[in-house]
Amino acid sequence: MSKTNRSLFAIAIFALILVAQPVLAQEKPIQLSLFSPIQLVPEDNAISGVRLSLLYGKNKYVTGLDWGLVSHCTSGMSKGVQFGIVGLVDADFMGWQSSVVNYTKGNFEGFQWGFVNYAGHANGLQLGFVNYAMTMHGLQIGLVNIIKQGGQFPVFPIVNWSF
């Protein structure tokens, strides 16, 4: 395991420990999904621990490590680290979202790092080729940066911000 992979693994484990909460009745500690609905835990449950989505995983929300090809959270506050090709969050996300495409429909707080980043309301840093936020309190770095309302510029290359 390279030093970079060890560092990413350590960060993911640290984030998992930081955001771990007592497991509620509707939260399950582990999810393994080939594609929804072919998964260990039904999609109307939340995951508090680790979710591995081989092709497509869908649950209410994830608290902890969310790793997969396509990871989809449908409601509630997802917290932790989300890695993959496509990260879809229909509600709110807090933490580090790192996929080729990151999409958080609601409030996003933390760090989005990908080719395309989208947040309804972003509070933090977006780093990517295309960054889009309806509203933002933070910084965008990329080729195309869009803050729909209240940004320093509506559209700007390289860097855009709103504080």
Q: What are the sequence ranges of the domains in the chain?
A: 1-90, 101-163
Question: How far apart (Å, rounded) are the C-alpha atoms in residues 115 and 47?
Answer: 26
* Average pLDDT over the chain, rounded to an integer: 91
CA distances, 139 to each of 4, 124, 127, 147 (Å): 25, 6, 8, 10
Paired tokens of 127: 């780093």
> Region 34-60: what's the mean pLDDT?
97
Chain segment 18-31, per-residue pLDDT in tens: 555 444 457 999 99
Q: What is the C-alpha to C-alpha distance for residues 132 and 37, in angstroms, rounded to an integer?
A: 31
- Of all residues in the chain, the percent with pLDDT exceeding 70 is 86
- 93-107 confidence digits (pLDDT tens): 999 999 999 999 999
Amino acid symbol at 155: V
Cα–Cα distance for residue pair 38/68, rounded to 1 Å = 14
pTM, two decimal places: 0.84
pLDDT computed for residue 21 by the predictor: 46
Q: CA triplet 61, 62, 66: central angle to 5 degrees?
A: 130
Q: What phi, psi does 27 have (nearest 5°)?
A: -100, 135
What is the pLDDT at residue 1? 66
Residues 6 or more apart whose Cβ sits within 8 Å of residue 29: 23, 47, 48, 49, 50
Percent of the chain with pLDDT over 90: 84
Write out pLDDT tens, residues 50-76.
999 999 999 999 999 999 999 999 999
